Structure 1
């Protein structure tokens, strides 16, 4: 099977896409990855053929402040959604659709697997009648599942009729916010000769599979997930167990160990990193801060018990850590949880509040506001280090996460099964749940939850 993978530079969602692409290549498929130039080195290091976007946004470097989402600048939820719609989902949809059309003509894929935010890719796949699946690196971000809380607020699963109704109303509101990009999306569709849609999220009806790059043991909702969703477990690259000598020497000195790491994409995280350093200086624990390319290490305050470095392998560190302090990005926290390490989350946005809620519900950590003071961070870190129940919760979750390899195989099998299907757009549209759709199709309705 010829498989076209498409994604964009946005930090943590790229490695899972490359992991899945490499796994399918090892199964004998012909795989081509299209993304920003910044991802070329990583893709080619995994033996994958790579091409860069031409008309669509094409970032040359990771971690720069020109991150297209810019969602970290906003707090008001509708503004956050509209920012993502404008910068990725719909604003550049015509450019993504045109680039994908050209790749389809040249590569002739049997299947397209795309990041869930690239609606323009779905438009091109629909026009070419090529089956298309989505791969998300974490929990599902659109309000199209009634078995999980709506994405964004970081809510726990509904436990009362009132909360069930609240969730249903929130899904409808959130779905309407995406319609801010409907004009751009329909312009992209018109450029390829497709009719307009009534709602932005109706474009998701073209997806025949949605692969969730997380574990059912971590996620909320039904297990197994309802069609077209399938959990793939942790999609992490092969562990890198190398450590620089000065980092190894630092952690080998003993004592409680804390790892602090926020996003590798720029999200204005320097202030919260600084407060974390001041908090850990109060506690006197030994701490390591990794910044990635998004923050200059020299811009952070210094403390005698804190070492700040641009990079250190989290795979090599996790087994030695007693606590992780993080923004709550999925790729970061799942490494800690798989090692049985409790997590303190200070969500910056995106999937962070929802990941943090899942951690808290599992008894494996705590969450604070990203504006929390250094004193509040110190108190929460002290609780997590001092109360055994959090470490026990993290160890329980680690045991549940250990079954992930079989989940990945099931997800790969589900993708390969699409080779035997025609593009059944009508059937898929009937099955796909939508906040404004009642029981007219065989699939579950979000309104039914009310």
Structure 2
């Protein structure tokens, strides 16, 4: 048994996979303390894990930051990414550092497994006063993006005829300002040394990094550092104790099942993807299953079509085996869980890591890419019917699911983290 701190910034898409990992590590006999936003205390303690709340600016509400006036006026692209990285990851870093130090001062004999966007381990690793964990393992939910000019592998989508080099340069310039701010904060804490470009730094600074992906999903690269490992995807949340809704018997294989979700963070406006999917598929011979990521079904502004079933929450470990196609806004967690279950995807979304995920789906022909966060009902219907009829996509996803099945993400992370 080892003592492990599992840390993450308070963003659902970054924290929830780390909480799942924490539970699975505890089930293997380790003593786990989760360092996360105070809003996750109840979930962590219900799981029987130790909990420590992030302090100060590190304990923020992501919805409030995204709703700030300066953020609302930014279009998807380098400027919005720069704003998000600065306010969600860089400015909280000093208080993440202090929160981590408090745990290590209480007991220095601990390992750290941190989401790579948790920057609180950077100061001590770069010479600032403080304790370092026995070993620092990073876990990346994002796809593998690093290097001077990631191009179509990266997070800046360019349409037909667009200038990828110019887009990459603009993106690098925006992240350069974020990097400069991180350097200033680290120096204020007593750190020395130069901060690498951020997409490189988050992968190369930890002692080891586990990326929650597989080779068949990533672009082939021959420059992967030996400390970075593709470990597969985490298993879906265990649904023990969950009771299926009355309509569950409708998923009897008599016609294709299409599931749709906007996740748990980007689900405040269901007109973006859920409602176009409901409208576009209403007259097709499919069953549409909607998981609202915790929202009340009353939030829908349209009547639910006869071929649709809507629930506030559905566990993916029970849902995905019944599904023929998954429509998603493109977040890494849902995409990987679907592909690991052998389910093709139709992806929307233009922010965070979604363009990078979409680029990989298009490159490997694992589904369809809508290229917008707000597709029309007709565009969704066309994509869904096209993917369901495409045997090549089905074969590609089946082959990829076997690769996922060859990876034990939790076991690999355990071995990498504990040395």
- The more displaced of 194-203 and 381-390 is 194-203
Determine the structure 1 residue equivalent to 2:300: 299
Cross-structure match for 2:374: 371
Q: Could you tell which deviates more after superposition, 372-381 or 117-126?
A: 117-126
Does 16-25 or 285-294 show the bigger shift?
16-25
Give CA-to-partner distance per residue, 1:260-295, whole Å, 9 cap, x none: 111211355411221111101132422111111357
Q: 1:295 to 1:220 in 2, by over 3 A?
A: farther
Question: Can you list the C-alpha shifts for 1:200-248, whole angstroms capped at 9, x where unaligned?
Answer: 6385453221211222232223489432211221113453264433241
> 1:219 corresponds to which residue?
218
Cα displacement string for residues 176-217 of structure 1 (whole angstroms, at most 9, x for unaligned residues): 322323454244324422237466638545322121122223
Change (3 A) 1:211 1:40: same
1:235 corresponds in structure 2 to 234
Once the 2 structures are TM-superposed, how far is the Cα of residue 341 of structure 1 from its aligned partner? 1.6
Give 5+ residue unaligned stretches, structure 2: none
Q: Is the Cα contact below 8 Å between 1:91 and 1:181 reproduced in 2?
A: no
CA drift of 1:253 comes to 8.2
**Is residue 133 of structure 2 the alignment partner of residue 134 of structure 1?**
no
Corresponding residue number in structure 2 for 1:318: 320
Asked if residue 386 in structure 1 is aligned to residue 389 in structure 2, the reply is: yes
Partner of 1:446: none
> What TM-score do the two structures reach when normalised by structure 1?
0.78
For residues 89 and 48 of structure 1, what CA distance do their matches in structure 2 show? 25
Q: 1:297 to 1:330 in 2, by over 3 A?
A: farther
Per-residue deviation at 1:411? 3.3
Q: Is the 8 A contact 1:25 1:31 kept in 2?
A: yes
Q: Give 1:304 shift.
A: 1.7
Q: Distance in 2 between matches of 1:123 and 1:52?
A: 19
1:302-357 CA-partner distances (Å, limit 9, x unpaired): 22221221111221121221211111112212222122221111124212222222
Deviation at 1:391, TM superposition (A): 2.2
Partner of 1:66: 64
1:31 aligns with 32
| Alpha carbons of structure 1 residues 203 and 400: separation in structure 2 relative to 1, 3 Å | closer
CA, structure 1 residues 336+390, in 2 after alignment: closer, same or farther (shift >3 Å)?
same
- Do the aligned residues in 2 keep the contact of 1:267 with 1:348 (CA within 8 Å)? no
Please report the RMSD computed on the Cα atoms of aligned residues, expressed in angstroms.
Answer: 3.3
Check 1:225–1:24 CA distance in 2 against 1; reply closer, same or farther (3 A cut).
Answer: farther
Change (3 A) 1:219 1:198: closer
Of residues 369-378 and 224-233 in structure 1, the stretch that sits farther from structure 2 once superposed is: 224-233
Is the Cα contact below 8 Å between 1:120 and 1:188 reproduced in 2? no
Matched residue, 2:108: 108
Of 173, 182, 197, the match for 1:176? 173
Contact 2:288–2:307 (CA under 8 A) maintained in structure 1: yes
User: Aligned equivalents of 1:321 and 1:313: distance in 2?
Assistant: 12
- Equivalent pairs, count: 404
User: Which residue does the alignment assign to 1:3?
Assistant: 4
Partner of 2:81: 81
2:9 aligned counterpart, secondary structure? coil
- Paired with 1:224 and 1:184, the residues of 2 have a C-alpha distance of 28
**Contact kept in structure 2, 1:286 and 1:305, CA below 8 Å:** yes
Deviates more, 1:350-359 or 1:372-381: 350-359
**1:87-120: per-residue Cα shift (whole Å, max 9, x none)?**
2222222222222222222232443222222223
The structure showing larger relative contact order (alpha-carbon pairs under 8 Å, at least 6 residues apart) is 1
Are 2:151 and 2:168, in contact at CA under 8 Å, matched by a contact in 1?
no
Aligned partners of 2:368, 2:230: CA distance in 1, in Å? Answer: 25
* Aligned positions of 1:19-58 closer than 5 A: 19-58=20-59
Deviation per residue, 1:118-156 (Å, 9 max, x gap): 223422454335143321123135x33888954203589
Write out the 4+ residue segments of structure 1 that deviate beyond 6 Å after TM superposition.
69-73, 145-148
SS at 2:56's partner residue? coil
Task: After TM superposition, give the deviation of residue 67 of structure 1 in Å.
Answer: 5.8
The residue that corresponds to 2:338 in the other structure is 336
Contact kept, 8 Å, 1:4 with 1:111, in 2: the verdict is yes
Q: Which residue of 2 aligns with 1:448?
A: none
> CA 1:100 to 1:124, structure 2 compared with 1: closer, same or farther past 3 Å?
farther
Instruction: Give the 3 Å change call, closer, same or farther, for CA 399–319 of structure 1 in structure 2.
Output: same
Report the TM-score when normalising by structure 2. Answer: 0.84
CA distance in structure 2 between the aligned counterparts of 1:253 and 1:416, rounded to whole angstroms: 44
Listed as ranges, the gaps of 5+ residues in structure 1 are 157-162, 418-450
Q: Secondary structure at the match of 1:66?
A: helix
Tell me, in whole angstroms, the C-alpha distance in 2 between the residues paired with 1:288 and 1:76. 29
Partner of 1:429: none
Give how far 1:377 is off.
1.1
SS in 1 for 2:40: helix
Are the structure 2 counterparts of residues 274 and 27 from structure 1 closer, same or farther at C-alpha, using a change threshold of 3 Å?
Answer: closer
Query: 8 Å contact 1:56–1:95 — kept in the other structure?
Result: yes
8 A contact 2:210–2:231 mirrored in 1: yes
Of residues 146, 150, 154 in structure 2, which corresponds to 1:151?
154
